[in-house]
Structure 1
Amino acid sequence: MTRPMTRSMTETAPLSDLMWTRGYTDPDWVRRYTTAGREISPSRRVWRGAGPSSALPARPHDLDALEMSAPDGSTLKLPELFAAARTDALVVLHRGSVVYERHLHGTEPHTPHFNASAAKSYLGLVAAMLAHEGLLDRTALASHYVPELAGTAFGEATVDHLLHMGTHMSYAGRRFDKAIEAQRYFAVVGHQLRPYGYNGPTSIREHLATARATGAPGTEFRYENGNVEALAEVLRRITGISTSALLGELIWSHLGAEEDAYYILDGEGVEAACGGFSATARDVARLGEMLRRGGTVGERQVVPEAVATTIASGVPDGYPRRIRFPAAPTDSPATFSYHDLWWILNDPYDSYMASGIHGQRLFVSPRLDLVVVHFGSQVMSPSVPPAPLVQAFLQIGTHLTSGN
């Protein structure tokens, strides 16, 4: 008698199950989405460059038994954190060496993984580099570079407003709701994520054109994807090349990456710059290590030192120093700042991070000599508390620093 086939614990859902109405509450849906971008949507590669990959020397530490404190006063160990965060990959670098690395649920070191909104920070880094070179005027209106944005909330904001989520706006006359607008953005980018009868914008540019200001820019922090997409269009106009080519030319091809990265594209072939980027955890760790070292890879200065070393300290006057992180409970203390699309921790270690939905993090802590990359497929539900990733990273860093 033949035993019936059953789905394994690590097997992911078929592509046919990726219905946007399932939202973020099905872990199989989430993992399939975070690891299969090129199978779901058109994509464009971010070239790794022609040279050899840069070394990531290994200096293993057994961190599995390290007890870490959670915000609720409980303690947990890394395997428990992995279960809570539905971790797909974790790479920890300390002083340039890989001290801990895990790839779970069928992912492998060479598997590109959805970075989600962590990609916002990478674009912010590109913009800061172009501004440093004098090619981008932070004080100019976005419509100065993209005339089609004139009259929209984004076109009437400055580049610096976009870099700090400073627009106050709504789409197509709707009352602004962050969660709903995130879902609508996904419907714009991916036709397979549109509900039956959808008749909204079918490209990012169409979507941006519906945004109207509901308040003066620079008066309120409002985390919204459109700021990043408008900024990406500005950078494309300045440079004349795609977002994929721009990130590849300025940064990715100089990291010694092992794999090409890629962006998913909308129906017009435009990159989903605010969150459609995928790369391996090891290569994102190389990006973080480059920043920790002041913008250098080996002897090459990839990012100007003045840009790399002021990510955590360069919050301009007039922008809030205390913002509640989106994944934090509503009663949590506000401890973050936001600068050039990076989250700033305001801690003693000059820590900052790129952060995305489902647990994507690039965490850089220069004074702890620490870089951490976490990829996850955590479900998003009020009944599922967010895993204490940042607290765990800091405790790992202080443990490693005190022991070396």
Structure 2
Amino acid sequence: MTGMPPLTDLVWARGYTDPAWARRHTTSGRELLPSRRVWRGSGTPSPLPARPPGTSPLDDLAFDGPHGQSLTLSELLAAAETDALLVVHRGTLVHEQYLHGYEPHGLHFNASAAKSYLGLVVAVLVHEGLLDRDAQVVKYVPELAGTAFGEAQVDHLLHMGTRMNYAGRPYDKALEAQRYFAVLAPQLRPYGYTGPATIREHLATASATGEPGVEFRYENGNVEALAEVLRRITGTTTSALLSEMIWSRIGAEEDAYYVLDAEGAEAASGGFSATARDLARFGEMIRLGGALGDRQIVPEVVASTIVSGVPDGVGRRVRFPAAPPSAPATLSYHDLWWIPNDPYGSFMASGIHGQRLFISPTLDLVIVHYASQVVSPAAPYPPLVQAFLEIGTHLQG
């Protein structure tokens, strides 16, 4: 097993290219920054029925690897630097596996998969009439007047439809991601850093470089601006809001957590940690039309239109981040969820290091995949979505 670097030496840039450092971040990152819990509530954890111990129904499957080779499940998980794989079919946990010392009760960063969870909260509040999709963000957050996010509509942010640069710099997605992390973590700031020290200060430097709603541009700032909108209209923190609306109602076993900036604002675009089991409960609730048992947690119309509600225009067809240029642009993006446009009505939340919450209503399938995949052209992502579909069709068959 590869040794773990000490937390005090963790450098994000190295974490992109070294699996051990990436894993140290994804499984212990909450210890690096202040954090706020997403309370699980006082109720009893909801059951997660499992098949009897023994061989997995997936053991004999073969999957395509990143170079087109045939892989066993174990080989696929190794190639993906997997920390956990949970497969729930028709409400039964048919496969549960943990690797690299990660444990069922351990928290794991969800990275950008967290964007989708906030998107669900936004959709519920829109459904309840508390938020207007067509309103400009400045209506809710006056301090963002004149910025790319403030002058855009809520719906533009939900579909990554803003075009901007920060502080007049030419826009570069990878570099801006690094600067965003430096806003959150002082230890990542270079010597002499004089940039924004909070998320709000960071958003205030965003200037529009084009009309919103024209181009898809995957950018953390859209989600952070949405989170600020929610804090304004509800008068509560992102953590408390997610707890009240969802986490305390799904029968979670553990609290989840958000990391915080210097003002105590949650990093909503990627600072969320939870156990794999609780994420499976969350996914199963969505698969069942927003309900668990006799409890309607999310309005059925919201849960059932994540796929069917995809609008024309921005987000209708996009290329998955890190996909090679030759990959077909067959994905859609709606309310911060990725949609593969497969025959099964699937959709997913996705994070940079291989975090996935994959939900396929037609296949009666929920898959949670936690990983610490490096980000490098030399280590291409295995085709996990295709593997998930193969798992689902196998179980259905």
Q: Report the TM-score range of the alignment, normalised by the length of the smaller protein.
A: over 0.9
Deviation at 1:327, TM superposition (A): 2.4
Match of 2:120 in 1: 125
Within 5 Å, which residues of 2 pair with 1:209-288?
Answer: 209-288=204-283
Deviation at 1:397, TM superposition (A): 0.4
Deviation at 1:218, TM superposition (A): 0.1
Within 5 Å, which residues of 2 pair with 1:349-364?
Answer: 349-364=344-359
Q: What amino acid is the match of 1:118?
A: A
Deviation at 1:373, TM superposition (A): 0.4
Match of 2:18 in 1: 26
Q: What amino acid is the match of 2:287?
A: R
For residues 64 and 7 of structure 2, the distance between their equivalents in structure 1, rounded to whole angstroms, comes to: 38
Question: Aligned pairs, how many?
Answer: 394
Match of 2:34 in 1: 42
Deviation at 1:70, TM superposition (A): 4.1
Match of 1:367 in 2: 362
SS of residue paired to 1:397? helix
Deviation at 1:219, TM superposition (A): 0.3
**Residue 82 (structure 1) aligned with residue 77 (structure 2):** yes
Match of 1:181 in 2: 176
Match of 1:315 in 2: 310
Q: Report if aligned partners of 2:315, 2:334 keep a CA contact under 8 Å in 1.
A: no
Q: Report if aligned partners of 1:20, 1:195 keep a CA contact under 8 Å in 2.
A: no
Cα shift readout 1:203-233 (whole Å, capped 9, x = no counterpart): 1000000000000000000000000000000
Structure 2: give runs of 5+ residues left out of the alignment.
none
Deviation at 1:91, TM superposition (A): 0.5
Cα shift readout 1:154-188 (whole Å, capped 9, x = no counterpart): 00000000000000000000111111111110000
Cα shift readout 1:357-399 (whole Å, capped 9, x = no counterpart): 1000000000000000000001111111112111110100000
Cα shift readout 1:49-84 (whole Å, capped 9, x = no counterpart): 110000010125331231123465421111111111
**Residue 190 (structure 1) aligned with residue 185 (structure 2):** yes
> If the length of structure 1 is used for normalisation, what is the TM-score?
0.96
SS of residue paired to 1:152? coil
Q: Report if aligned partners of 2:90, 2:364 keep a CA contact under 8 Å in 1.
A: yes
> If the length of structure 2 is used for normalisation, what is the TM-score?
0.97
SS of residue paired to 2:102? coil
For residues 256 and 384 of structure 2, the distance between their equivalents in structure 1, rounded to whole angstroms, comes to: 24
SS of residue paired to 2:277? helix
Larger mean Cα displacement after TM superposition, 172-181 or 312-321: 312-321
Larger mean Cα displacement after TM superposition, 309-318 or 152-161: 309-318
Structure 1 residues 71 and 21: alpha-carbon distance in aligned structure 2, compared to 1, 3 A threshold: closer
SS of residue paired to 1:91? strand
Q: Residue 321 of structure 2 is aligned with which of 304, 326, 330?
A: 326
Cα shift readout 1:87-123 (whole Å, capped 9, x = no counterpart): 0011000001100011111111000100000000000
Q: Residue 54 of structure 1 is aligned with which of 46, 50, 53?
A: 46
Deviation at 1:23, TM superposition (A): 4.6
Deviation at 1:317, TM superposition (A): 2.9
For residues 265 and 22 of structure 2, the distance between their equivalents in structure 1, rounded to whole angstroms, comes to: 23
Q: Report if aligned partners of 2:159, 2:315 keep a CA contact under 8 Å in 1.
A: no
Structure 1: give runs of 5+ residues left out of the alignment.
1-8
Match of 1:4 in 2: none
**Residue 12 (structure 1) aligned with residue 4 (structure 2):** yes
Q: Report if aligned partners of 2:203, 2:221 keep a CA contact under 8 Å in 1.
A: yes
